Structure 1
């Protein structure tokens, strides 16, 4: 296993093989780091801090058809925009390293919990922290599975490395199968559900987080009956935002439809510009698209695709929120306004992970899978009515391909710049007859105007640094073989 996987809260590696077994002076072991419930609670906050969704947001925008090259672009992201993806690309190393660091942290909390005997009045809090660790591990495994598995419905398909323990320095693992990943995710979520004492929280793992993640797993594996039931249960408690609430969601002042988000605040480790134009990202969410602020004059290096903009007519609150108002009246430049900033810091906003609009469109997709076209129209109509603030007509769908295409179009609009588009096209593109397709004016100079949804690049390669360090990996994903 690559050394990046074993970096964590209390890990210490050394450069010489002879030093591996030496108890280094100053080394902080689990027994010293975790001696009380307070230590566990501090540790779980550190685990949350390991999770960063900005690489997914940047990658989905850049590789697919959410953005165009902006007026202040000095080369940022242009290789990916041109379709260049390989074993050394930032996206595969960043996502791999991000989630294995997170898994390492969660695993350490799970193992360290055995060292602590909770007092009688601490049992609920102790159980909740442990439940959070199991749920976060499940989420990290899901993210890795979704990026490195070729076929979500083939249980024998190879995925990433199944790290459900704290590895040793010399640990080397082969790739696990999709079934092995999904089994572990399911077991972790079951364990988490039995421990968590919090029903709902927008910024901490809760029972509703577990339900939302289960719904996403069921959606990706096309277990639509389960996905629909879980999504419906969440919609009973998380209504779709009205236009005022929707606008507030993006400046972090309203959580009406937020099931879970990663909180970002002034002064935290993500308060900074990050790696602009790169899937290494980090930092402010809005810095994925602009250098200074979300306005026309804020140095936008990526802007909204004109094709995406055309899907949002006047009256759609998403147009008003997703494109900064400085673009009006001519809309010659379309700066991304979805992450305007909060706490006085432009471009710094919470990262929305699960929200009720996703659950509604899960229900629409489930209906499409069973050819219940009236239900597809009803669910899409509910979302559109909320986003327009009035009753608007939704075209009827006549066949399953059109139904999937209608769902995919609404997902493209609703979740623009949230990290969904890449995996949505991978899941639904072929069935919907939809692929990455950019307007000629936005792609001709880059030679990458279309990408079929079954293109091999919709699965990431195992990163080169992992292949070099881990001989137990004997198979690379198709299209990336050396």
Structure 2
């Protein structure tokens, strides 16, 4: 796995320690983009820093604890009991602040690359490819800026299906410390994202990008289509989402990772050990000495992912009950050391990356998501036959046969529930569950699915209605304190800083 080496000027972690406002980013003695970037290689180093800053672990941790993916582990020392597990969410919550700040940090780094690139003149006399590298680096910066804005929209927008609703702060330049902006509308943010992705697709050279970031660790034209498909889905634009999925190749040429006859030869298991990349569209590389946002030893366990590795959290009873013994996903979601009794169920999805325990690459887009996006498009059109076909396309691979296939739904609610149930299993501990319940929980007739015995020590809290205000995150208090023009999301009041 590659080691992202970052220029000092982009390692502005002090942004979050010494600056409360996500857009208050200029520090004394800080090098400006125009002064920093002089060559294409400088831009590449800056891009390395942006990739290393992409958040992932914070979203996965919040989602798994706040919904129904975990229970208290045998070595839990109180982690989560006074916060996510108890559905505590307000403008002082660390989860909301982390997601807000980390994505604006990514946007900030992307904007600095875009601004600095104006001062760089490619030199094709080097090897004849400097211009292509320049364009591809710039395209990736635009893609990452779009991704950062989309992540923020997914968690903070009042209603992603309403273009007039409030979104987040649009940031397409490097601002001064005096800038204090209100939130833009969804339509304005989505227009920027669309523009950024259009630029990225027109200027990205897949071959060059693949050379920069191997094993699906960098942007690609397929990743751009996948982001467009997810964005259209979240906006309720189902036909548009399906069109992007079909451009990627669903169902025709899609190849899912096979189950395999044993754990050792299963492509699916190898995908989560970061040794097989066939099914991945885009992932975030994590290494021991990278500047990633955190490793999972901080969340799931103290020592390792086994039953004796001091797990702070374990796979919830409700999720475990969804995982059939013949489904290969059971041996990945739950560490194999839990079999056969499963009395202790450590999270197994990030057990190791190559040879490093408790460190796994973050899978952002996978082929199976594209299949289930297609299923949602069919459900929206009451095409229940194709809903079953898409769900079973995944299940037949994960089971290795048709024994786990579902019947064709007979009602709209059955169709949506089948999709939501499949997403729950397929994307367990990948950061989807919170947004999935928020998006289609009402259509599926599903709320948070917890077993009370898993949460006795946190008051037995097992339900959060899908119309609760906490299905969108609050604007963090630090942002409110530094930016009097920011508007808070409904339900969280207008608490003063």
TM-score, length of structure 2 as denominator length: 0.89
The answer for the alignment partner of 1:255 in structure 2 is 277
SS across alignment from 1:68: strand
SS of residue in 1 equivalent to 2:206:
coil
Question: Is residue 2:168 matched to residue 1:127?
Answer: no
Could you give the per-residue CA deviations for residues 180-216 of structure 1, whole angstroms, max 9, x where no partner exists? 1111111110011111011685101111111110001
Instruction: Show CA shifts across 1:15-38 (max 9, x none).
Output: 9xxxx9x996x6533233100010
Question: Within 5 A, what are the aligned runs for 1:187-266?
Answer: 187-198=195-206, 201=210, 202-235=216-249, 238-243=254-259, 244-266=266-288
Q: Establish whether residue 362 from structure 1 lines up as the match of residue 362 from structure 2.
A: no
Q: Are residues 1:468 and 2:481 paired?
A: yes
Q: Supply the distance in 2 between the matched residues of 1:463 and 1:377 (Cα, whole angstroms).
A: 41
**Aligned partners of 1:23, 1:312: CA distance in 2, in Å?**
50
Give the counterpart of 2:435 among 399, 417, 423: 423
Q: Which runs of 5+ in 1 are unaligned?
A: 1-6, 271-281
1:410 to 422, 426, 438: 422
Measured against aligned partners, the alpha-carbon deviations of 1:3-22 in whole angstroms (never above 9, x if no partner) come to xxxx972879999xxxx9x9
Asked whether the equivalents of residues 286 and 341 of structure 1 are also in contact (C-alpha less than 8 Å), the reply is: no
Is the contact made by 2:11 and 2:49 (CA closer than 8 Å) also made in structure 1? no
Q: In the alignment, which residue of structure 1 is the partner of 2:213?
A: none
Of 39, 42, 61, 1:39 maps to: 42
- Measured after TM superposition, the shift of residue 231 of structure 1 is 1.4
Indicate how the Cα distance of structure 1 residues 23 and 208 shifts in structure 2: closer, same or farther if over 3 A, else same.
Answer: closer
Q: Name the structure 2 match of 1:57.
A: 60
d(CA) in 1 for partners of 2:311, 2:362: 20
SS where residue 115 of structure 1 aligns? Answer: coil
CA contact (8 A) 1:198 1:207 kept: yes
Q: Residue 9 of structure 2 contacts residue 30 of structure 2 at CA under 8 Å; is this kept in 1?
A: no
How far off is 1:284 after superposition? 1.8
2:3 aligns with none
Distance across 2 between alignment mates of 1:118 and 1:240: 40
SS of 1:450's equivalent in the other structure is coil
Match of 2:331 in 1: 320
Partners of 1:437 and 1:320 lie apart in 2 by: 21
| Cα offsets for 1:215-260 (capped at 9, x unmatched) | 0111101111111121122245551110111110010000010000
* Counterparts of 1:342 and 1:445, CA distance in 2: 33
Aligned position for 1:269: 291
Q: Which residue of 2 aligns with 1:179?
A: 187
Q: Distance in 1 between matches of 2:95 and 2:392?
A: 35
Q: CA deviation at 1:64?
A: 0.2
The answer as to 2:87 corresponding to 1:83 is: yes
Q: Deviations over 1:426-447 (max 9, x none)?
A: 1000111100021121124323
Choose the corresponding residue for 2:412, options 391, 394, 400: 400
Q: 1:98: Cα distance to partner? A: 0.2
Change (3 A) 1:27 1:250: closer
Q: Distance in 2 between matches of 1:434 and 1:27?
A: 49
After superposing the two structures, state which structure 1 stretch, 112-121 or 27-36, moved more.
27-36
For residues 423-468 of structure 1, give each alpha carbon's deviation from its aligned partner in whole angstroms, at most 9, with x where no partner exists.
0011000111100021121124323210112211110000001101
Give the corresponding residue for 1:3.
none
Shift of 1:288: 2.4
**Aligned equivalent of 2:112:** 108
SS of the equivalent of 2:165 reads: coil
Confirm or deny: 8 A CA contact 1:296 1:335 kept in the other structure: yes
Helix, strand or coil at the partner of 1:105: helix
Looking at structure 2, the residues matched to 90 and 8 of structure 1 have their Cα atoms a distance apart, in angstroms, of 26
Q: Is the 8 A contact 1:287 1:347 kept in 2?
A: no
Matches within 5 A, 1:450-461: 450-461=463-474
| Residue number among 132, 142, 162 corresponding to 1:154 in the alignment | 162
For residues 85 and 125 of structure 1, do their structure 2 counterparts lie closer, same or farther at Cα, with a shift above 3 Å needed?
A: same
* Equivalent pair of 2:33/2:113 in contact (CA under 8 Å): no
**2 CA distance for matches of 1:131 and 1:23?**
27
Contact residue 238 and residue 258 of structure 1 kept, 8 A: no
User: Which residue of 1 is the match for residue 311 of structure 2?
Assistant: 300
SS in 1 for 2:329: helix
CA distance in 1, matches of 2:443, 2:410: 14
Equivalent residues of 1:266, 1:343 under 8 A apart: no
Q: Which runs of 5+ in 2 are unaligned?
A: 1-7, 211-215, 260-265
8 A contact 1:285–1:351 mirrored in 2 = no
* Counterpart contact for 1:144–1:160, Cα < 8 Å: yes
